[in-house]
Structure 1
């Protein structure tokens, strides 16, 4: 029931077994290898908060900068990367940072994707510029109104079992009523207090997990999972971790990032 179910399982096992050896190699770079189904190419560097979570310079999922020291992503991936547009252009500015520490939500487990949220603290502050900026997150707990039009972005697959995009892609999505989403996924998989769903002509696919759901100028959700067999499924809508439900935990780790 996960967008990246096979990769997730493999990476979780590897991460748990080799965590001590991986931590020194967690890095940030603007060179990404990540798409959005039925999306459009984003204006170059119009989403400077976007991060590519990578292993050995190979993109695994998305993430986003929430301050000059912290990146937010999904908990089922443990390594990261920042902001290019065209992956083929080596002339684009590239910055690499060592990750000082990672903070997986204490209640995340391999059995489900509840509490699928992770914070990565960089070794030092990022030098912000036109291509690298952080995005605001909610200041307090609360829900996004059903019917709200928001957006997502990523370098993941352009269709189920398809090819990845070299360019950052984006699309608009609409927030679904949480009770309707629960009825589609079931109470075991979906938590109305911790998650939210979206639907639309376009949507996320493999390689987009961990990226932000942006409403206005605020990141309100973290891409978590969806139909395991079909990207942008009508039957099983994409699920996002509701950032507002984790504000106390986030502030405990980061302080007031806004």
Structure 2
């Protein structure tokens, strides 16, 4: 059973890795103006690669598998092409040392900004969930991103958001045929809402706090997924994150 679970998970993750760029919010809506001002577009020379979120004036959290020639971030606007949005270069990438692929967990990376983001009307940080913060089965949270929707294969420029519910971890583990404890399941199976391939690095937000990071889903089954969406559980990395922010450098 364990070997079968690993095979199924490995197959799904290969598919997920092949669609890193862009973002896909399924059956969501445009994010209301003035909301989610912590959202960040993480980009390489070709444009948007992944989502991310601002946790301090000089650090952004995203997924480790988003490491695709990243150059800068754009923040301060729901439309990342807006002239009022702020572009800041990335000076360093702190990928978790234990990361190898999304199936083995540790899918988390901090981006050190070359200059501090100016906090204000359009740019704010989001607090992280405490290590002991509890999540309830069926608790409603949200996930957001830029890019394709269920209605088009063309990426869009405006931030979209959708509400998703927390799925019991044991249930999720059985459905996937194997899952690590440092992961959270929300959306996907049991609903037609969630994220899809490429909507990586964005936050799962519960009670106003970032609890998870978009990690992976099963390939080519986004409108009506038969497995839950999977997130990296931020609560397992609070000390790691705080140490980086305090020392302003990646751990050796």
In the alignment of these two chains, the number of paired residues is 229
Candidates 225, 240, 244, aligned match of 2:231? 240
2:219 pairs with 1:228: yes
2:98 pairs with 1:98: no
Output the CA distance in 1 between the equivalents of 2:38 and 2:213. 13
Output the CA distance in 2 between the equivalents of 1:111 and 1:221. 14
Output the CA distance in 2 between the equivalents of 1:167 and 1:74. 21
What is the deviation of 1:234?
Answer: 3.5
Equivalent in the alignment of 1:197:
185
Equivalent in the alignment of 1:36:
25
What is the deviation of 1:229?
Answer: 1.8
In the alignment, structure 1 segments of 5+ residues that lack a partner are 12-32
Equivalent in the alignment of 1:77:
66
Equivalent in the alignment of 1:114:
105
Output the CA distance in 1 between the equivalents of 2:148 and 2:164. 17
Q: Does structure 2 retain, via aligned residues, the 8 Å contact 1:5–1:228?
A: no
Output the CA distance in 1 between the equivalents of 2:223 and 2:233. 19
- What stretches of structure 1 move > 6 A for 4+ residues in a row? none
**Deviations, residues 40-88 of structure 1 (Å, cap 9, x unaligned):** 1111241110011111151111110011111000001122523322356
User: SS at 2:93's partner residue?
Assistant: strand
Length-normalised TM-score, structure 2: 0.82
Q: Does structure 2 retain, via aligned residues, the 8 Å contact 1:148–1:175?
A: yes
Closer, same or farther in 2 for the Cα pair 1:219/1:145, shift >3 Å?
same
User: SS at 2:161's partner residue?
Assistant: strand
Equivalent in the alignment of 2:18:
6
Equivalent in the alignment of 2:130:
139
Candidates 23, 35, 57, aligned match of 1:46? 35
User: SS at 2:86's partner residue?
Assistant: coil
What is the deviation of 1:113?
Answer: 4.7
Closer, same or farther in 2 for the Cα pair 1:160/1:240, shift >3 Å?
farther
Output the CA distance in 1 between the equivalents of 2:207 and 2:39. 15
Q: Does structure 2 retain, via aligned residues, the 8 Å contact 1:34–1:154?
A: yes
Candidates 38, 50, 53, aligned match of 1:61? 50
Length-normalised TM-score, structure 1: 0.81
Output the CA distance in 2 between the equivalents of 1:58 and 1:113. 28
